Amino acid sequence: MNLDDTIVAIATPPGRGGIGVVRLSGPEAGKIAGSMLRLKHDLEPGRALFSELIDETGERIDEAVVTYFAKPHSYTTDDVVEISAHGSPVVLRHVIEIALAKGARLAEPGEFTMRAFLNGRLDLTQAEAVRDLIESQTLFQAKVAAQQLEGALSRRLQPIKKKLVNLIAVMEAGIDFAEDDVAVLPAEQILEHISEVEQPLEKLLASFAYGKVVHEGFTLAIVGRPNVGKSSLFNCLVERERAIVTATPGTTRDLVTETVALNGIPVKLIDTAGIRHSTDEAESIGIRKSYEALSEADMVLVVLDSSQGISEEDRELFEAAHHRRALVAANKTDLAKAPLSPPNELKMLRTSAVTGEGIDQLRTEILSAVSGASAGEQETGFLTNIRHQRLVQESLMSLAAAREAVTGRIPHEMIMIDLYSALRPLDAITGETTADDILNLIFSSFCIGK
């Protein structure tokens, strides 16, 4: 990929709209843009100018507002020109064709952001946060991505890397200048320094359970016998009458799904058919789908009827939910309560879809069970990316190897190999030592024009 030429792309989504933006970046951005515009004044950095878009013959195509960002004060640190015309696909495509004819190259997906990274404006965690911000489904996801874009993860990693680099430097000095009586760290102090790096890294790794849920969301299957109130609870969580509710058992015969935000985290709720022994063909198919949803969902909510107690069918559901993230909702607490005692490993909450009792607590417990932490308790700069998680794991494995080497009285030169192996993955998170093929893989997942 040539990073010295001028690239062009449509930066707004496909389709028709009030405005469509064409973005150019590179040394010839101003010259190419100027040749397709009829301007009353020359382009000035940081100033938006009204102009006319013209074709090769000088005929007017559209009106546009043009903004010029001079290097290095731009997103890519190169010269950038953004042409905001009316959002007609025909007009925008024609603008691209003119730019290509005048020497620009069509940008690859994510190439503007890749240039920002390669030119040192963003580190790799910030560049990845740009993609996450664009793909956000909830405001909370957008806020988390914005924190990462500001460098929250990089700031959290920086003191950890500094401690590791300091340890490497001291040990290097002890090895290189042993003849000059430079002190070599005793084993106890080396182990202490390794622990000072390991502890915050382990805490950072533990944040991935919550960060993964924030980034990707999760699915929750609501299962139970017919007429225990599954669809009513589903409607309470969705906060509208999405599923049909009647007093007749077996109303729900197919999966009903809806995505909602719980504390800003996207959750795909699945209302399933009531599970019972049935000879009805349609209901039997629905029950089979219920078991499939139970096995594939990230979490299961088993619903009981407080007025009836636990049946054999309920116990079969407990067994099916065994060794999975699961909660039990003892529903219909507004009716006569029967003593309920689900298996000890399953947490039970009392709820009423009619009165709303326990619904807020249910939302909180769902998030806590699936993420391992209550929303809002995590500090900023947590791991949301599986690439980052694997690199932190790799660093911790190398630190563990270094610890074993110190305990086994291995020569310091060999311990240094493990310490450098622990540093490289941390550099790869921010992009300081990331291979080109990994960079291409990351930026290829971006949209064109960003």
Q: Is the model's pLDDT at 425 over the cut of 90?
A: yes
State whether 172 and 315 are in the same domain. Answer: no
Per residue in 342-383, pLDDT (tens digit) is: 776 778 888 888 888 888 999 888 888 887 654 444 567 889
State whether 303 and 417 are in the same domain. Answer: no
Percent of the chain with pLDDT over 70: 88
Percent of the chain with pLDDT over 90: 42
Query: What's residue 273's pLDDT?
Result: 80
Query: What's residue 19's pLDDT?
Result: 94
Q: Is the model's pLDDT at 92 over the cut of 50?
A: yes
State whether 296 and 327 are in the same domain. Answer: yes
State whether 332 and 363 are in the same domain. Answer: yes
Q: How confident is the model at residue 181 (pLDDT cuts 50, 70, 90)?
A: very low
Average the pLDDT over 170-185 and give the result.
Answer: 63
Q: Minimal CA–CA distance to 316: which of 281, 275, 349, 279?
A: 275
Q: What are phi and psi of 380, to 5 degrees?
A: -70, 160
Tokens, residue 214: 């924030």
Average the pLDDT over 13-26 and give the result.
Answer: 93
Query: What's residue 180's pLDDT?
Result: 47
State whether 321 and 252 are in the same domain. Answer: yes
Average the pLDDT over 75-95 and give the result.
Answer: 94
State whether 43 and 93 are in the same domain. Answer: yes
State whether 114 and 145 are in the same domain. Answer: no
Average the pLDDT over 48-70 and give the result.
Answer: 92
What's the domain range around 326? 216-371
Q: Mean pLDDT, the chain, as a whole number?
A: 85
Show contacts of 195-201: CB within 8 Å, 24+ apart. Answer: 196/163, 197/160, 197/163, 197/164, 197/167, 197/399, 197/422, 198/396, 198/399, 198/400, 200/156, 200/159, 200/160, 201/160, 201/392, 201/395, 201/396, 201/399
State whether 185 and 245 are in the same domain. Answer: no
Average the pLDDT over 153-168 and give the result.
Answer: 92
Q: Is 440 within a domain?
A: no
CB atoms within 10 A of CB 59: 9
State whether 289 and 199 are in the same domain. Answer: no
Q: How confident is the model at residue 61 (pLDDT cuts 50, 70, 90)?
A: very high
Q: How confident is the model at residue 280 (pLDDT cuts 50, 70, 90)?
A: low
Structurally, the chain folds into a number of domains equal to: 3
pTM over 0.85: no
Q: Is the model's pLDDT at 421 over the cut of 80?
A: yes
> 104: domain CATH number?
3.30.1360.120
Q: Is the model's pLDDT at 394 over the cut of 90?
A: yes
State whether 246 and 367 are in the same domain. Answer: yes
What span, in angstroms and rounded, lies between the C-alpha atoms of 209 and 373?
8
Q: Is 19 helix (H, G, I), strand (E, B) or coil?
A: strand
CB atoms within 10 A of CB 18: 7
Q: Is 405 within a domain?
A: yes
